[in-house]
């Protein structure tokens, strides 16, 4: 345990752009929760954190102790470019607003550590000016790029890094954390990450074990099976097929469409549902439902998969294939280990899903096989992230910056009389 001064703050910011689904925010939220639980005791410093998100529904999630939300105007991707999700402004003005808000927050908060999820420079470069300014006024700040374990096909990923500029990443960021099990998928070996990044990379393991959940759910009938679609913006086809699937006798089926599914598509899912199937747009604690279900049908987004792997619930993944192939690569890799079952979206009919559900509910061997395979995976990514953050906190402990006057002082306290 670090024996530093508890009066000294340790400030951490986590950023996610959030154009599709809730995955980026949920990943940062899981990390923030782990840091909140462990860092004060391990570092001897009071933790204060800021979660920057572009998804306004994120505030419905409980914020970890010491953290608060900063919600910037939302975006969505249309025909190859990003535009405002809610505001009626041009994209150029929208990103000026987002960049200004983020820059103002970083300048005032002066974090010791900034963790950027997935997009190193933000959307349309919205992070370039804020991060460069932060480094100029507080050079001891550590910038971390956090990446899921699967990005896309190597060709697509290489083209993206070329557009961003490999040198711009190596010049600006200090660390790269890859949230995955290297034995299942190594994005450096596949070519999804440039070789120049290798000295900066730490493979943490999947952010699975240790995710917080209440253990309570509001399902009125037990046992139950579950279908979850993340944010739901692109999950209508899977939801409709699952809702129409035959339900094993004595079991209730709960289909959670996600808050971003368009109302018209949600009505289609509701119309397809049989008498034993209930459709809702969200639940208060999805992890509790996953852990309590007899079986799960879901897409193959990072967070849903990570949460599922930390349970013994048998799972069938139906990955999306557009606009990225990330999910099908993840499903294929995990399916090869036996930790999950998966099916291509084109084959995911109500009949096929129903057959799998029937087997998963009636045959204990399905859950036993998947649980045994999961035990062999590296699922301790949250613990490793905490360890890495402790190391970075020790580096920042050499000095501290007053959030009021912005002067930097040696560790151990702020002496304004010396200024």
pTM strictly above 0.85 = yes
Domain boundaries in the chain?
A: 9-208+379-418, 224-374
Distance from C-alpha of 212 to C-alpha of 34, rounded to nearest angstrom: 9
For 72, the 3-state DSSP assignment is coil
Distance from C-alpha of 313 to C-alpha of 304, rounded to nearest angstrom: 12
- The stretches of 110-143 forming alpha helices (DSSP H) are 128-137
**Nearest residue to 52 via CA among 97, 11, 106:** 106
Instruction: Tell me the two tokens of residue 375.
Output: 């035990």
Establish whether domains 9-208+379-418 and 224-374 are of one fold: yes
- Its CATH architecture, for the domain 224-374, is 3-Layer(aba) Sandwich (3.40)
Length of the chain: 419
Provide the pLDDT for residue 194.
97
- The stretches of 121-224 forming alpha helices (DSSP H) are 128-137, 154-164, 166-172, 187-190
Query: Would you tell me how many other CB atoms lie within 10 Å of the CB of residue 380?
Result: 18
21 contacts 231 by C-beta, under 8 angstroms: yes
| Per-residue exposure over 129-166, b if at least 16 CB sit within 10 Å of its own CB, e if not | ebbeebbeebeebbbbbbbbbbbbbeeebbeebeeeee
| Per-residue exposure over 20-48, b if at least 16 CB sit within 10 Å of its own CB, e if not | bbbbbbbbbbbbbbbbbbbbbebbbbebb
373 contacts 25 by C-beta, under 8 angstroms: no
Fold assignment, 9-208+379-418: Rossmann fold (3.40.50)
Pairing of strands 399-401, 408-410: antiparallel
Q: How many CA atoms lie within 13 A of 21 on its CB side?
A: 20
Provide the pLDDT for residue 80.
75
Query: Would you tell me how many other CB atoms lie within 10 Å of the CB of residue 274?
Result: 12
Contacts (Cβ under 8 Å, ≥6 apart) of 325: 152, 153, 156
Provide the pLDDT for residue 7.
56
- Give the sign of the dihedral formed by CA 253, CA 259, CA 260, CA 264: positive
Provide the pLDDT for residue 3.
47
Distance from C-alpha of 318 to C-alpha of 414, rounded to nearest angstrom: 54
**Nearest residue to 236 via CA among 261, 212, 216, 214:** 261
CA angle centred on 76, ends 29 and 80, rounded to 5°: 125
> Which residues in the chain come in under a pLDDT of 50?
2-4, 400-404, 409-419
- Give the sign of the dihedral formed by CA 209, CA 214, CA 215, CA 220: negative
> What do you get for the CA distance between the two ends of the chain, in Å?
32
**Residue that the structure tokens 């899912």 belong to:** 269
Q: Cα separations (Å) of 58 from 53, 122, 285, 382?
A: 7, 18, 13, 20
Instruction: Tell me the two tokens of residue 89.
Output: 């402004």
CA angle centred on 105, ends 103 and 110, rounded to 5°: 95
Instruction: Tell me the two tokens of residue 316.
Output: 């069938």
**Nearest residue to 327 via CA among 305, 311, 348:** 305
- Provide the angle, in degrees to the nearest 10, between the axes of the packed helices 302-309 and 326-337: 20
Provide the pLDDT for residue 416.
37
Q: Cα separations (Å) of 118 from 38, 103, 150, 162, 313?
A: 24, 18, 11, 15, 28
Provide the pLDDT for residue 155.
96
**Nearest residue to 174 via CA among 211, 205, 134:** 134
31-64 tens-digit pLDDT: 999 999 999 999 999 999 999 999 998 998 889 9
């Amino acid at each position: 345990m670090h024996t530093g001064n508890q009066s000294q703050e340790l400030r951490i910011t986590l950023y996610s752009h959030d154009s599709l689904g809730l995955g980026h925010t949920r990943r940062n939220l899981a990390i923030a929760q782990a840091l909140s639980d462990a860092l004060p005791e391990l570092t001897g410093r009071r933790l204060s954190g800021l979660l920057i998100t572009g998804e306004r529904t994120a505030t419905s999630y409980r914020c970890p102790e010491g953290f608060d939300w900063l919600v910037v105007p939302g975006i969505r991707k249309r025909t190859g470019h990003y535009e405002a999700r809610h505001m009626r402004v041009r994209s150029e003005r929208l990103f000026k607003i987002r960049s200004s808000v983020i820059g103002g927050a970083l300048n005032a908060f002066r974090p010791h550590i900034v963790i950027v999820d997935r997009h190193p420079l933000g959307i349309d470069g919205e992070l370039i000016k804020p991060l460069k300014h932060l480094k100029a006024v507080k050079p001891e700040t550590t910038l971390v790029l956090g990446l899921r374990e699967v990005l896309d096909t190597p060709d697509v990923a290489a083209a993206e890094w070329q557009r961003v500029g490999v040198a711009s990443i190596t010049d600006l960021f200090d660390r790269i954390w890859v949230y995955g099990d290297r034995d299942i998928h190594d994005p450096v070996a596949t070519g999804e990450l440039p070789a120049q990044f290798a000295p900066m990379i730490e493979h943490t393991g999947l952010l699975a074990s240790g995710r917080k959940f209440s253990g309570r759910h509001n399902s009125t009938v037990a046992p139950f099976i579950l279908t979850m679609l993340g944010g739901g913006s692109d999950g209508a086809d899977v939801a409709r097929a699952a809702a129409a699937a035959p339900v094993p006798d004595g079991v209730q089926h709960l289909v959670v469409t996600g808050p971003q599914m368009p109302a018209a598509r949600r009505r289609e899912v509701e119309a397809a549902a049989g008498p034993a199937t209930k459709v809702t747009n969200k639940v208060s604690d999805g992890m509790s439902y996953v852990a309590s279900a007899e079986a799960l049908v879901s897409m193959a987004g990072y967070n849903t998969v990570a949460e599922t792997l930390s349970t013994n619930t048998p799972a069938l993944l139906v990955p999306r294939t557009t606009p990225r192939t990330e999910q099908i690569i993840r499903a294929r890799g995990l399916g090869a280990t036996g930790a999950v079952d998966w099916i291509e979206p084109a084959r995911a009919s109500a009949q096929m899903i129903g057959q799998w559900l029937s087997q998963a509910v009636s045959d204990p061997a399905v859950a036993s096989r998947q649980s045994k395979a999961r035990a062999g995976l590296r699922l301790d990514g949250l613990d490793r992230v905490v360890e890495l953050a402790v190391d970075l906190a020790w580096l920042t402990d050499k000095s501290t910056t007053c959030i009021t006057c912005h002067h930097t002082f040696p560790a151990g306290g702020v002496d304004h009389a010396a200024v």
